Amino acid sequence: MERELALEFVRVTEAAALSAGRLMGKGDKEAADQAAVDAMRSVFDTVHIDGTVVIGEGEMDEAPMLFIGEKVGTGVEPCVDVAVDPLEGTNLVAKGLPNALSVVAVAPRGCLLHAPDIYMEKIAVGPRAKGCINLDAPVRENLRAVARALNKSVGDLTAIILDRPRHAGIIEEIRATGARVKLISDGDVSAAIATALEDTGVDILFGTGGAPEGVIAAAALKCLGGELQGRLKPDGEEETGRVRRMGLGDENKLLFLDDLVAGDDIFFAATGITDGDMLRGVRYLGQTAQTHSLVMRGITGTVRNITATHYLAKKPRFVARKPRCQD
User: Do 162 and 258 touch, CB atoms closer than 8 A?
Assistant: no
Please state which of the four CATH numbers 1.10.3720.10, 3.30.1490.270, 3.40.190.90, 3.30.2010.10 is assigned to the domain occupying 119-260: 3.40.190.90
Per-residue confidence (pLDDT) for residue 25, from 0 to 100? 97
HSE-CB at 176 with a 13 A cutoff on CA atoms is: 10
Per-residue confidence (pLDDT) for residue 322, from 0 to 100? 53
- Determine the residue type at 230: G
Beta strands in the chain (DSSP E): 50-55, 71-72, 79-88, 101-108, 119-125, 158-162, 180-184, 204-210, 227-233, 267-272, 283-284, 288-297, 302-311
- Determine the residue type at 170: I
Tens-digit pLDDT profile for residues 239-273: 777 777 776 777 788 999 999 999 999 999 999 99
**The overall pTM is greater than 0.85:** yes
Domain coordinates in residue numbering, the chain = 5-112+266-311, 119-260
Asked whether this chain's domains 5-112+266-311 and 119-260 adopt the same fold, the reply is no
Average pLDDT for 209-223: 96
Nearest to 16 by CA among 68, 81, 89, 87: 87
DSSP 8-state secondary structure symbol assigned to residue 323: P
Q: Verify cis geometry, omega within 30 degrees of 0, for the bond prior to 78.
A: yes
For residues 5 and 327, the model is more confident at 5
Q: How many CB atoms lie within 10 A of CB 43?
A: 20
Q: How many CB atoms lie within 10 A of CB 215?
A: 27
Q: Is the pLDDT of residue 238 over 90?
A: no
Q: Is the pLDDT of residue 327 over 50?
A: no
Q: How open is the CA angle 307-104-262, to the nearest 5 degrees?
A: 125
- By DSSP bridging, strand 79-88 and strand 50-55 are parallel
Tens-digit pLDDT profile for residues 153-165: 999 999 999 999 9
- Determine the residue type at 171: I
Question: Helices marked H in 55-181 — which ranges?
Answer: 90-95, 139-150, 168-177
- By DSSP bridging, strand 288-297 and strand 283-284 are antiparallel
Average pLDDT for 195-216: 95
Q: How open is the CA angle 135-133-246, to the nearest 5 degrees?
A: 40
Q: Say if domain 5-112+266-311 classifies as CATH 3.40.50.1820.
A: no
Sign of the C-alpha dihedral, residues 256, 233, 92, 167? Answer: negative
Tens-digit pLDDT profile for residues 171-185: 999 999 999 999 999
CA 297 to chain centre: 15
DSSP string, 184-213: ESS-HHHHHHHTT-GGG---EEEEEEEHHH
